[in-house]
């Protein structure tokens, strides 16, 4: 795939913008005292018969970089294997395999870490950099970006004790089950101890990273964690975006609610929507938006919905257990479908497994998910496509609740809730804001786990005026902290704002999106996303991508504009 890349200056500036200090040789991998760790991996082999000769295997003037590509290919394979083990864990694995599977996953995560955080990799990266400086003409944008991303990955791992990585993998998968149990039993007491253990571990990991980066500000550990999900993100930039949204929503939200007061409340869904038909519906909608079932699938789970995998094997996992509300599983399917399109659209054939072939992290991921789920998936025209079809599928011709108008009204009703998952698009920000502020304090030590329920309830009351009835309805509702995802939450709001910016630009590039949605033709949209976002992998930084595609840096205005259009101006 030949991409025109009019941003060479941006790429060159990465190395200036780099916030790390010191040469790589000073950032040697974590080695226990008295312990010598030498890892010799097999030397690179020629492309195998089943691999097309892609950029991954293409010869390069710098043999050390070739070596690195083979090392990172194998690291990428291990990552893909962990993903498959994790997806199997959620879908097909028998319950009794739980403990041994946790050990297998954490074992492999440790090996992956050790393959990455060693002196050989550090040495190769330094040598490749030397070559890059000597012979810059031999390096194209993708190779340069690939080398940079290798260094980023190395730096994220090098100072962290492998024991911590093994424990993190273990706790993360254990946390998924724990969360299901504490949620079912509204069991704060048992949650508390687990969260404490998880937070202690995350802080220890974060502090190892900060030490490596010579950063010691209060929020540096939180920022270090956040950057695992949102590469290069700065907590200061997050604050600016959130403050702006907070300010603008302060007047906008009451206006919207006032307007909706005058409108009739939508009719609730009142049929029975069998799980297997919901699954069929969701598969069909995913096919419609261009998700390739040849290279992926939609699976059921008893756990929380999740997406993941590689462009060759992208698995979306949802629940369809609520037989009284097909919109619930559809929301998950569209959300995970947005992620899925991104994963499948990555530069697979050229850069499979290489760092530059990966997605840009959680903020861009969520932009794709929320664009499909919230921005496109809640348009009136999409419901005009959907309505007659669900009347047929669920055998209820003329059902009032399934009319396009009613479905639209149901999904655009703005009403503060205690629950993030059933939140409308406008109040959604407050849920993210609350979690972001709380997790920051949990990591920087200003909030103790035992005080979390109180802080949560005060925070949601202050923001939305609602009060959770139970722990499960409050601070236990999300799986994120249980799987160790501290620093992930900001990506929802960053992604939502980014999605609105992309949507604005897309509306200028593609004629009559509403008509396309009404007729079920998602292809021009999918192609736009493929070309403008997915196929770029990590060749650009997130901020450069947003600037390049939308002509402006990431900000709140497009999202606010979208809210005004949909909730104030529309009929």
Query: Does residue 262 belong to the site contacting its own copies (CB under 8 A)?
Result: no
Q: Which is nearer to its own copies, 178 or 440 (CB)?
A: 178
Q: In the bound complex, what is the minimum distance in angstroms from residue 237's beta carbon to its own copies?
A: 36
Task: Match 């939200």 to its residue by tokens.
Answer: 253
Choose which of 6, 46, 96, 262 interacts with its own copies (CB under 8 A). Answer: 96
Query: Does residue 34 belong to the site contacting its own copies (CB under 8 A)?
Result: no
Choose which of 56, 172, 282, 310 interacts with its own copies (CB under 8 A). Answer: 310
Q: In the bound complex, what is the minimum distance in angstroms from residue 48's beta carbon to its own copies?
A: 7
Choose which of 313, 396, 419, 531 interacts with its own copies (CB under 8 A). Answer: 313
Token pair belonging to 462: 């202050």
Q: In the bound complex, what is the minimum distance in angstroms from residue 453's beta carbon to its own copies?
A: 26
Query: Does residue 200 belong to the site contacting its own copies (CB under 8 A)?
Result: no
Tell me how far apart the alpha carbons of residues 261 and 370 are, in angstroms, rounded to a whole number. Answer: 26
Q: In the bound complex, what is the minimum distance in angstroms from residue 445's beta carbon to its own copies?
A: 25
* Pairing of the two strands 306-310 and 313-318: antiparallel
Query: Does residue 259 belong to the site contacting its own copies (CB under 8 A)?
Result: no
- Contacting residues for 497 by C-beta, under 8 A, at least 6 apart: 241, 245, 554, 555, 556, 558, 559
Query: Does residue 80 belong to the site contacting its own copies (CB under 8 A)?
Result: yes
DSSP 466: -
Token pair belonging to 325: 């509300």
Task: Match 């780099």 to its residue by tokens.
Answer: 18
CA–chain centroid gap for 389, Å, is 31
Using CA of residue 160, residue 163, residue 166, residue 168, what is the dihedral sign? negative
Choose which of 9, 264, 294, 569 interacts with its own copies (CB under 8 A). Answer: 294
Choose which of 23, 61, 92, 568 interacts with its own copies (CB under 8 A). Answer: 92
Q: Which is nearer to its own copies, 6 or 42 (CB)?
A: 42
Query: Does residue 31 belong to the site contacting its own copies (CB under 8 A)?
Result: no
Token pair belonging to 389: 């079809």
Choose which of 170, 209, 331, 518 interacts with its own copies (CB under 8 A). Answer: 170
Query: Does residue 308 belong to the site contacting its own copies (CB under 8 A)?
Result: no
Tell me how far apart the alpha carbons of residues 452 and 192 are, in angstroms, rounded to a whole number. Answer: 9
CA angle 254, 258, 263 (to 5 degrees): 145
Instruction: Give the C-alpha distances (Å, rounded to integers) separating 558 from 345, 495, 515.
Output: 25, 12, 22
Q: Which is nearer to its own copies, 31 or 257 (CB)?
A: 31
Per DSSP, the three-state class of 118 is: coil
- Contacting residues for 374 by C-beta, under 8 A, at least 6 apart: 425, 428, 496, 499
Which of 210-227 are b and which e, b meaning 16 or more Cβ less than 10 Å from the residue's Cβ?
bebbebeeebbbbbbbbb
Query: Does residue 161 belong to the site contacting its own copies (CB under 8 A)?
Result: no
Query: Does residue 276 belong to the site contacting its own copies (CB under 8 A)?
Result: no
Q: Give the footprint of its own copies on this chain (CB under 8 A).
A: 35-40, 42-43, 45, 48, 50-51, 74, 77, 80-81, 84-85, 88, 91-97, 99-104, 107-108, 110, 114, 162-163, 170, 174, 292-297, 299, 310, 312-314, 352
């Amino acid at each position: 795939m030949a991409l025109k890349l009019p941003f060479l200056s941006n790429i060159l500036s990465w190395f200036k913008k780099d916030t790390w200090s010191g040469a790589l040789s000073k950032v040697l991998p974590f080695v226990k005292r008295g312990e010598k760790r030498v890892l010799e991996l097999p030397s690179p082999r020629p492309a195998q018969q089943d691999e097309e000769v892609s950029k991954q295997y293409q010869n390069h003037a710098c043999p050390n970089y070739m070596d690195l590509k083979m090392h990172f290919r194998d690291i990428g394979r291990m990552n893909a294997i962990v993903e498959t083990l994790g997806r199997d864990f959620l879908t097909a694995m028998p319950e009794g395999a739980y403990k041994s599977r946790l050990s297998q996953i954490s074992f492999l995560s440790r090996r992956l870490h050790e393959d990455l955080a060693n002196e050989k990799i550090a040495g190769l990266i330094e040598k490749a950099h030397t070559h890059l400086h000597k012979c810059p003409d031999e390096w194209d944008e993708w190779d340069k970006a690939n080398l940079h991303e290798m260094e980023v990955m190395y730096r994220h791992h090098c100072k962290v004790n492998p024991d911590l990585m093994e424990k993190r993998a273990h706790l993360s998968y254990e946390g998924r089950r724990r969360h299901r149990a504490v949620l079912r039993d509204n069991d704060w007491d048992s949650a508390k101890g687990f969260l404490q253990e998880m937070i202690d571990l995350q802080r220890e990991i974060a502090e190892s990273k900060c030490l490596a980066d010579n950063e010691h500000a209060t929020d540096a550990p939180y920022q270090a964690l956040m950057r695992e999900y949102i590469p290069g993100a700065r907590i200061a930039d997050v604050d600016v975006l959130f403050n702006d949204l907070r300010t603008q929503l302060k007047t906008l939200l009451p206006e919207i609610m006032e307007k909706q007061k005058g409108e009739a409340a939508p009719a609730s869904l009142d049929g029975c929507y069998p799980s297997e038909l919901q699954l069929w519906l969701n598969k069909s909608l995913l096919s419609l938006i261009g998700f390739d079932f040849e290279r992926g699938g939609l699976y059921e789970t008893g756990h929380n919905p999740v997406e993941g995998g590689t462009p060759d094997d992208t698995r979306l996992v949802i629940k369809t257990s609520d037989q009284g509300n097909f919109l619930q599983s559809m929301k998950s399917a569209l959300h995970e479908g947005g992620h899925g399109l991104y994963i499948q659209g990555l530069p697979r054939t050229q850069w499979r497994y290489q760092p530059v072939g990966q997605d840009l992290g959680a903020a861009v991921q969520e932009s794709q998910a929320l664009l499909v789920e919230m921005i496109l998936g809640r348009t009136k025209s999409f419901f005009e496509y959907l309505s007659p079809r669900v009347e047929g599928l669920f055998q209820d011709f003329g059902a009032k609740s399934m009319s396009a108008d009613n479905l639209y009204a149901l999904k655009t009703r703005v009403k503060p809730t205690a629950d993030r998952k059933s939140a409308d698009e406008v109040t959604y920000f407050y849920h993210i804001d609350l979690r972001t502020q709380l997790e920051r304090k949990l990591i920087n030590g200003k909030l103790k786990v035992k005080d979390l329920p109180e802080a949560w309830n005060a925070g949601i009351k202050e923001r939305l005026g609602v009060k959770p009835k139970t722990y499960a309805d409050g601070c236990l509702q999300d799986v994120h902290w249980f799987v160790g995802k501290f620093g992930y939450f900001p990506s929802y709001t960053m992604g939502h704002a980014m999605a609105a910016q992309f949507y604005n630009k897309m509306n200028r590039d593609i004629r009559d999106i509403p008509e396309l949605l009404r007729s079920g033709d998602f292809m021009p949209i999918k192609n736009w996303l493929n070309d403008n976002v997915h196929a770029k992998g990590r060749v650009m930084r997130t901020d450069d991508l947003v600037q390049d595609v939308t002509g402006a840096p990431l900000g709140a205005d497009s999202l606010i504009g979208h809210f005004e259009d949909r909730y104030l101006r529309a009929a």
